[in-house]
Structure 1
């Protein structure tokens, strides 16, 4: 089958396809139209790959980026109307880049971030990069970034917070500057259940000090050393039943004293 698409140069990613698009628009559905459509897509693939290369090093493989860009190219070829007078490249570039950006927005963000905040993030990142080339010896302030990005300070702060939402670290990863072999999960704080009993501990502390040595020792062995009643009985040379009664009576007495003081 003869080639319907004429290019300016074999490696030019903006081929001369005006006539081919006119023929495509005038050709009815069928094998001939499908073949011409495929040739147009192949002719513009180098340009779509060039556009995809702009998004490298953002967490997606270049091969996947090229596939997404190619999908945008297919949409551009199918939607382009040569009768409107604009060149195909001016229609295809925003269509392809929009498809790649949509891919990042819908599939690459680890945390869900509103589209408005994503835009603020991109503008903040661009402003930071430009300011770092003109300011030496320090990092740009939020006010400087806001003026450069055309945002308010509040919007700039929102965009800066979103800079860390694009990807997350595994809990098995090692924290920056941490000891070798220490996972992130091992240094993340957790709820301290001992905080729930701080008030109770402080309320009972002075009353424990007033107890006789023997009674204080029994409570210490039971509740601080976690000894069984039988072990305590053996240590003191008394019966386990006696230890049980002593602990029960001591706890009841301390509880009554604390309640009375609270009233």
Structure 2
């Protein structure tokens, strides 16, 4: 063993001596002479590069490829060598090792892994082989960490990342008969894929709904708000919210199932977004104002204006407000009817409410308008 150490030391010393002599002669040589000197030193150092390459064999790359990479690193070390900076051999070891590690990092990994993990993975693999020989068993993560002077967590990360060096192909046979591939076992059918057409259709139909109904649907189904919370935010009753949501969903369902766009219930063109219609008819001594559609805060002011105009121009014994076509009246609608009753009393015109549906009749009764409801 001492004889081998002496031989190794002598080889290193010979390379250092040859490198110093090479640098001295290169300073005074012509261009053709420099090429010859470079080739001579390269041939002298080739066995050294081979020994460096053999340190990394058994890691998935052929020895021939490793030797080629090591020789490339040797040529770079010769071209960049400066005798004033120290030993050529030490510099060549660093350059060749770096070139080989770069080769493993950039050319051999099947999956991108950070450089730090790649380098540590190589060190862990080499240390694992050495410790396996020394201990006659597979070393633990703690033993590898102690050997490399890193944390156990870093060793475990390197061991896990090593699987990315040579990943399995998704086209590899998954069974003995070879009928199925490994990729066939991954993933499941996307249940939402068939709903893409429906989602796009609904998105277009939502734009055709009035702004208030769109807001309610967004609050209910995207904001997970309750009907009571929506009613409080919009300033209407919870019952009104329920009716509007039901009507909107029914319209969307019908539109989805039909080839032509159905009419929005109560709509009478773009200017009548919420669908309230008012008509005035005179019969004998009565002036009848027929109302159709919901009376809420969005339509109440329009009805107030119409009723005040009817009272001021009635010139009749009685003003009749026909509510047969009104499915809902909220607080704003009740206030309009009370205002009409007051205006009629001042004008000396009788006022009566007729045709109220059961739900609307109960609202009017508790609001103090029961004495105006007639047959």
Specify whether residues 167 and 122 from structure 1 end up closer, same or farther in structure 2 by C-alpha distance, changes over 3 A only: same
Alignment of 1:37-56 (within 5 A): 37-56=38-57
Q: d(CA) in 1 for partners of 2:177 and 2:55?
A: 36
Specify whether residues 36 and 120 from structure 1 end up closer, same or farther in structure 2 by C-alpha distance, changes over 3 A only: closer
Max radius of gyration: which structure?
2
Q: CA deviation at 1:40?
A: 0.9
Q: d(CA) in 2 for partners of 1:128 and 1:195?
A: 48
Specify whether residues 29 and 118 from structure 1 end up closer, same or farther in structure 2 by C-alpha distance, changes over 3 A only: same
1:104 alignment partner in structure 2:
104
Structure 2: stretches of 5+ with no match in the other structure: 1-6, 195-256, 258-375
Q: CA deviation at 1:27?
A: 2.3
- 1:188 lines up with 2:189 in the alignment: no
Asked if the contact 2:105/2:119 (under 8 Å) is kept, the reply is no
Specify whether residues 118 and 67 from structure 1 end up closer, same or farther in structure 2 by C-alpha distance, changes over 3 A only: same
TM-score by length of 1: 0.57
Describe the superposition over 1:105-142 as per-residue Cα deviations: whole angstroms up to 9, x where unpaired: 111111111112123323433443344345567x5443
- 1:179 lines up with 2:193 in the alignment: no
Q: CA deviation at 1:195?
A: 10
TM-score by length of 2: 0.42
Describe the superposition over 1:140-173 as per-residue Cα deviations: whole angstroms up to 9, x where unpaired: 4434443343222322221111111111223343
2:91 alignment partner in structure 1:
91
Q: d(CA) in 1 for partners of 2:136 and 2:29?
A: 62
- 1:160 lines up with 2:194 in the alignment: no
Q: CA deviation at 1:101?
A: 1.0
Q: Which runs of 4+ in 1 moved over 6 A?
A: 194-197
Q: d(CA) in 2 for partners of 1:180 and 1:135?
A: 41
Larger helix share, 1 or 2: 1
Q: d(CA) in 2 for partners of 1:94 and 1:57?
A: 21
Q: CA deviation at 1:82?
A: 2.0
2:64 alignment partner in structure 1:
63
1:30 alignment partner in structure 2:
31
Q: d(CA) in 1 for partners of 2:106 and 2:129?
A: 25
Greater relative contact order (Cα < 8 A, sep 6+):
1
Asked if the contact 2:101/2:119 (under 8 Å) is kept, the reply is no
SS at match of 1:163: helix
2:73 alignment partner in structure 1:
72
SS at match of 2:164: coil
Aligned residues between the structures: 184
